[in-house]
């Protein structure tokens, strides 16, 4: 056979070329980030409605100029330069419009990587409001077997705010690191299936520094949070997402979450949603925890998360202070410390949910950036969001 299939015409490679050892690499990520469930076992969470949404063009906005670190360029040019796959913008709760790259059909789900952490924290906030989850409790109240690990003398608050003194590095590109073993335990890398995610988490030891002093971005904390909310509630994360968030939110499309050999959800990074539904999460947070006229998460929790809580000193001691010099981190959401009071969730390879309360703007951006982390581009993305908020 010499003719190209429709798949090869769209993506430039064959489906058989995408494997567990390359799904996070370009060009394969342009497909795999929308189809993680074909590569990693996943559980699905049904949508609130079966109605099909229609794309709305951003019209003339795409040709408007924004001035970023490298000079002036059009909105559309920056979307392409930053490897955007899908974008949705809301203003005062109303849809401004959508943008999709040629390889991402409108309405497709896309992995949001570490924005999954922010979503999991919302479940924790809901359970806290119901009185079944205590953020100030020791981890061992819910997971007694954590004794002897780094979490043995840590609090749930340390887990929520990434201030566990964890002896672990986010070495995304090192195949011999503990991080690679971690990914095998999540079934994200070849060779998994001999060690569960929970088992791996309880092998991590702590550093000498006391918990609570330094913001350390360590993804295992957020998988631990998923286990904590399951232990506190007696329900699986997928069931909690359905009952407590996805149905009340009025999500239009189902979501999915990758799971390990025991069915433990990858709450640190395994969720896939559409840009529209991610924007709905941002709008719910902008509205203080309310969606469709119904309260989903306590207002006090949202206020603490996006405005009041978190330690600037702990953030300043961490390695991400360059991105938000006046920022803080609370309940797995970033307070950006800007004049707009903006806050956000961030995932590797260019996933963002950005909320600007003063401009009443929410922007969901999903991407397939070649590098997991690109500090220079992140600074441009933040400036782009701020500029876009003044244009819509």
Find tokens 């959800």 and name the residue.
Answer: 265
In a domain, 71, yes or no: no
Distance CA 113, CA 131 (A): 29
At 70 the pLDDT is 81
Q: Is the pLDDT of residue 1 over 60?
A: no
In a domain, 53, yes or no: no
CA dihedral 200, 222, 36, 13 (to 10 degrees): -90
Residues 6+ apart with CB under 8 A from 174: 180
pLDDT band for position 56 (cuts 50, 70, 90): very high
The answer to whether 290 and 296 are in contact (CB under 8 A) is: yes
Phi and psi angles of residue 321, each rounded to the nearest 5 degrees, phi first: -65, -25
Tell me which residues are annotated as active site: 114
Q: Is the pLDDT of residue 50 over 90?
A: no
pTM above 0.85? Answer: yes
At 341 the pLDDT is 95
pLDDT band for position 169 (cuts 50, 70, 90): confident
In a domain, 314, yes or no: yes
At 48 the pLDDT is 82
User: Burial of 328 by CB count in 10 Å (0-12 exposed, 13-18 middle, 19+ buried)?
Assistant: buried
In a domain, 164, yes or no: no
In a domain, 140, yes or no: no
Q: What is the mean pLDDT of residues 104-117?
A: 97
pLDDT band for position 2 (cuts 50, 70, 90): low
Distance CA 100, CA 55 (A): 9
Q: What is the chain's mean pLDDT, rounded?
A: 96
- Report which of 113, 108, 66, 64 is spatially closest to residue 87, judged by C-alpha positions: 108
Find tokens 């300043």 and name the residue.
Answer: 316
Q: Which domain holds residue 370?
A: 94-131+235-389
In a domain, 119, yes or no: yes
DSSP state of 140: H
In a domain, 378, yes or no: yes
Total domains present in the chain: 1
User: What CATH number corresponds to the domain at position 324?
Assistant: 3.40.710.10
In a domain, 278, yes or no: yes
The answer to whether 190 and 21 are in contact (CB under 8 A) is: yes
pLDDT in tens, 76-105: 999 999 999 999 999 999 999 999 999 999
Q: Is the pLDDT of residue 170 over 90?
A: no
- Report which of 335, 370, 352, 341 is spatially closest to residue 113, judged by C-alpha positions: 352
Q: What is the mean pLDDT of residues 54-80?
A: 94
Distance CA 352, CA 364 (A): 6
Long-range contacts of 98-104 (CB under 8 A, 24+ apart): 98/55, 98/56, 98/57, 98/58, 98/275, 98/276, 99/58, 99/62, 100/55, 101/30, 102/10, 103/10, 103/11, 103/30, 103/31, 104/30, 104/34, 104/366
pLDDT in tens, 177-199: 899 999 999 999 999 999 999 99
């Amino acid at each position: 056979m010499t003719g190209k299939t429709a798949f090869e015409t769209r993506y430039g490679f064959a489906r058989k070329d995408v494997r567990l050892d390359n799904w996070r690499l370009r060009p394969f990520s342009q497909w795999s980030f929308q189809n993680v469930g074909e590569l990693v076992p996943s559980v699905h969470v049904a949508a609130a409605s079966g109605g099909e949404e229609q794309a709305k063009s951003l019209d003339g906005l795409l040709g408007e100029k924004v001035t970023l670190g490298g000079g002036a360029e059009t909105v559309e040019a920056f979307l392409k330069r930053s490897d955007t796959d899908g974008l949705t913008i809301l203003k005062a709760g109303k849809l401004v419009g959508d943008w999709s790259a040629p390889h991402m059909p409108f309405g497709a789900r896309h992995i949001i990587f570490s924005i999954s952490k922010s979503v999991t924290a919302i479940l924790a906030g809901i359970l806290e409001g119901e009185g079944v989850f205590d953020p100030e409790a020791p981890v061992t109240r819910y997971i007694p077997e954590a004794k002897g690990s780094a979490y043995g003398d840590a609090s749930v608050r340390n887990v929520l705010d990434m201030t566990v003194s964890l002896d672990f590095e986010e070495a995304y590109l090192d195949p011999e690191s503990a991080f690679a073993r971690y990914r095998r335990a999540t079934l994200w890398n070849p060779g998994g299936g001999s060690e569960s995610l929970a088992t791996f988490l309880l092998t991590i030891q702590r550093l000498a520094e006391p918990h609570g002093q330094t913001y350390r971005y360590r993804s295992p904390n957020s998988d631990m949070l998923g286990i904590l909310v399951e232990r506190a509630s007696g329900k699986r994360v997928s069931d909690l997402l359905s009952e407590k968030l996805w149905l009340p939110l009025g999500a239009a499309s189902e979501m999915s979450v990758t799971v390990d050999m025991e069915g433990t959800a990858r709450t640190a990074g395994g969720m896939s949603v559409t840009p529209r539904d991610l924007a709905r999460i941002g709008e719910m947070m902008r509205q203080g925890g309310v969606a469709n006229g119904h309260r989903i998460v306590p207002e006090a929790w949202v206020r603490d998360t996006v405005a009041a809580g978190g330690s600037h000193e702990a953030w300043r001691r961490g390695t991400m202070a360059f991105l938000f010099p006046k920022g803080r981190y609370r309940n797995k959401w970033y307070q950006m410390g800007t004049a707009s009071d903006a806050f956000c969730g961030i995932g590797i390879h260019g996933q963002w949910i950005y909320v600007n309360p003063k401009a009443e703007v929410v922007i969901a951006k999903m991407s397939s950036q070649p590098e997991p982390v690109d500090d220079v581009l992140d600074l441009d993305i933040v400036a782009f969001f701020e500029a876009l908020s003044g244009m819509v």
